[in-house]
Structure 1
Amino acid sequence: MKEIVLNDGNKIPIVGFGTYKSTEQEGVQSVKNALAAGYRMIDTAAIYGNEEDVGKGIKESGIDRKEIFVTTKLWRENLGYEQAKKAFEISLKKLGLNYVDLYLIHWPANAKNYTDWQKANADSWRAMEELQAEGKIKSIGVSNFWQEHLEALFQTANIIPAVNQIEFHPGYWQPELTAFCKQNGIAVESWSPLARGKVFGNEVLVAIAKKHNKSVSQVCLRWVIQHEAIVIPKSTTLERIEENINIFDFELSKDEIQQIDKLPEIGFSGELPNIWPDRINIKN
């Protein structure tokens, strides 16, 4: 599995396994299936309600903990110094682990929801820096942070985020934010890489997939990693789990990359970090 070296020297697999909506026994089994298929990075979050299931799947897989890169996230209702510390300990206990490899602020505080959103993010980050210094977290990062949130965080942070996990898929890949992150040494990680299924049937993607004798899913995931971004597809189906990691035996041409880059908006979630918890009205 190809890895990306983060700005703190730690390594993260370029393809991981997303667990959103994977709960209970199905969640446990999907984690075991993913690890058996060769995935070595598992992504979860407190809000997913499946940290216990993920931890159980890791334990039952029989694979050495040191070989598995585990990510979880601080939910936006727990922002703040003390709240972040408490929320992390709860996540760690639910996972049944001694440490996590990556801990992210799931959504930034914003002006719509906080009188001093900069402080809410900064205090959460300070707690995470301390947890990292204690060895409970290997790498710390953020999710859904726009440039404005990152620049504010830079004012107080002692450590630059290692990762920014953002909505990134054909039809909505935030090129300006992606470029800003790369300029500042922050690895970009893609959530919703298949645009909530909206990519299927797209003529451009179908044609490219046919040319390479691959699925549209595989083309989308390959496109993400050729942008040097980490990708975390999710599935509970064994066939799809195996298909999604089988993307290292072909390469998209520069022309194909550009074709996908230029696709009109597809499958945008409508979730914007400067206005959460509201969603904009979108038509898909």
Structure 2
Amino acid sequence: MTRVPVIRLNDGNAIPQIGFGVYKVDAGNAEKVVSEALEAGYRHFDTAALYGNEAEVGRALRASGIPREELFVTTKQWFDRQEPVEAERAIAESMEKLDLGYIDLYLLHWPAPKRDRYVGAWQALERFKLDGLTRSIGVSNFLVPHLERLARESATVPAVNQIELHPAYQQRDVVAYCRANGIAVEAWGPLGQGKYDLFGEEPVVAAAKAHGVTPAQVVLRWHLQLGNIPLPKSGNSSRMRENIDVLGFDLTLAELDAITALERGGRGGPHPDEQN
């Protein structure tokens, strides 16, 4: 099995540097997909209340027979549950559906700043961590102003910020803030989010040819060497294996720089200030 490197989070917990995302994996297929991902070597799984597949993800993980401590499971609170009482109900519902005893990483899915509730929701997550419901807490799709406000109004620095991130959209200001403040950066849509054909870009094609790997493996290796935690997703078992088999080569500094130069500045998903 591929031995995925781990990153030590600012709270002392360790997270596998490659995860498996289940966004848009329908509930009827999720158990099969997660089981195949486990066979491919994944031990880090990223779901969310919004995805509607927490129960199936949990069922597949329990059925695998893999010790709980060898798994890393993330789920997320949707922004309509940011009121304190709703936040408590939300994590209780996720825990019941996953049925894994605890959550490894619990995230605020979006800041939804127009609602002006994310600070209170974050303070609720701080309590959930103290209560042992989740081992680590973090955020998703938070921009620098949102992170700065959390720093002013709470006692805990997020362990993780999960953001849209790939060579064509690198969110360099957010990443720089996270690196400077000890926040690990997870990348959703790490292969281009369907908006960009990264696999046809000359630096990616050239690196793939030079190392005898696929363009997807080159892009994922770029993430790993920069310190990101990519969350590729696929319903194809051979693609699953390909996406985790990225540890047998290193991109040169010139190759990294050429891929980094693919920045285009265009967001594929919603803008965090408008997701309310």
The aligned residue for residue 256 of structure 1 is 255
Q: Distance in 2 between matches of 1:20 and 1:188?
A: 18
Please tell me whether residue 46 in structure 1 is matched to residue 49 in structure 2: yes
Distance in 2 (alpha carbons) for counterparts of 1:224 and 1:73: 23
Cα pair 1:23 1:53 within 8 Å, conserved: no
Structure 1 residue aligned with 2:79: 76
> Can you list the C-alpha shifts for 1:90-125, whole angstroms capped at 9, x where unaligned?
111111121100000000021xx32xx2xx111101
Q: What is the 5 A alignment of 1:60-139?
A: 60-110=63-113, 113-114=114-115, 117=116, 120-139=117-136
Per mean C-alpha deviation after superposition, the further-off stretch among 1-10 and 170-179 is 170-179
Does residue 1:162 correspond to 2:159, yes or no? Answer: yes
User: Quick one: which of 168, 173, 191 aligns to 1:171?
Assistant: 168
Alignment map for 1:107-256 (pairs within 5 Å): 107-110=110-113, 113-114=114-115, 117=116, 120-197=117-194, 198=196, 199-256=198-255
**Aligned residue pairs: how many?**
271
- Using a 3 Å threshold, how does the CA distance of structure 1 residues 48 and 227 change in structure 2: closer, same or farther? same
**Deviation of residue 58 (structure 1)?**
0.5
1:5 to 2:8 alignment: yes
1:15 to 6, 11, 18: 18
Aligned equivalents of 2:120, 2:263: Cα separation in 1: 38
Aligned mates of 2:103, 2:27 — CA distance in 1: 21
266-275 or 125-134, larger mean C-alpha shift: 266-275
- Secondary structure at 1:196 match in 2: coil
Contact 1:16 1:39 in 2 (8 A): yes
Q: How many angstroms does 1:267 deviate by?
A: 7.0
Deviations 1:142-174 (A, max 9, x none): 000000000011112111100000111010011
More off after superposition, 2-11 vs 27-36: 27-36
State TM-score, norm by structure 1: 0.92
Secondary structure of 2:168's aligned partner:
coil
- The aligned amino acid for 2:254 is D
SS in 1 for 2:76: strand
Residues 190 and 229 in structure 1, CA contact (< 8 A), matched pair in contact too: yes
Q: Which moved more, 1:58-67 or 1:101-110?
A: 58-67
Q: Give the % identical residues.
A: 46
Distance 1:57 1:267 in 2: 36
Cα RMSD, aligned residues only: 1.3
User: Residue 39 of structure 1: CA displacement?
Assistant: 1.1
**Structure 2: gaps spanning 5 or more residues:** none
Q: TM-score, normalised by structure 2?
A: 0.95
